[in-house]
Amino acid sequence: MSTESRKSSYRDRDPKDAPPQIRHIDEMDWETIRWPGETGKMLFHPTPENPTAPNAGLLRFAPGSHHPWHRHDFAQVWYVLEGEFKVGGKVHGPGTMLFHGDPHCEEELHTDSGGLMVIVQYPGPTTGGRPIYDKRFNMAERRSIDQERIDV
């Protein structure tokens, strides 16, 4: 797209169109995630002012990280940047993208190597289920797995 075309498209934008929200990964600290060995930086996430925003950011996994089988009503996409992850008995490495439609179950995940992935969770197109940020991605302290809900 030429510079002139870009200028024209900005000028023609409808005032009701939301502008892009832009964040850099270095603008926030790693937060505790509910599953053992996982931390995250959710650059975007639902808020009272923007309840349909996705959970979108990075998940970092320490060697030995894991989570149990669980289900969700929202949809999500994962993209593996580093490490190897065994998901549902199959190993996936860098360059792998996983898509979970709505509703879905996440198979058990385990990594011996540790790793890093991009994750985007968004409201389910068919269920309307919304991703949950509070008390899952921003925990002051992790609880034991048996205290976590796996049905939503």
Residue 98 included in any domain: yes
Residue 26 included in any domain: no
- CATH of residue 63's domain is 2.60.120.10
Residue 1 included in any domain: no
Residue 135 included in any domain: yes
Cα 3–chain centre separation: 33
Residue 63 included in any domain: yes
Domain count, the chain: 1
Q: What is the pLDDT of residue 85?
A: 98
* pLDDT digits 0-9 by tens, 87-143: 999 999 999 999 999 999 999 999 999 999 999 999 999 999 999 888 788 878 888
* pLDDT digits 0-9 by tens, 24-74: 999 999 999 989 999 999 999 998 888 889 999 999 999 999 999 999 999
Domain range spanning residue 90? Answer: 44-140
Residue 80 included in any domain: yes
pTM to 2 decimals?
0.85
Q: What is the pLDDT of residue 128?
A: 92
* pLDDT digits 0-9 by tens, 89-104: 999 999 999 999 999 9
Residue 90 included in any domain: yes
Residue 123 included in any domain: yes
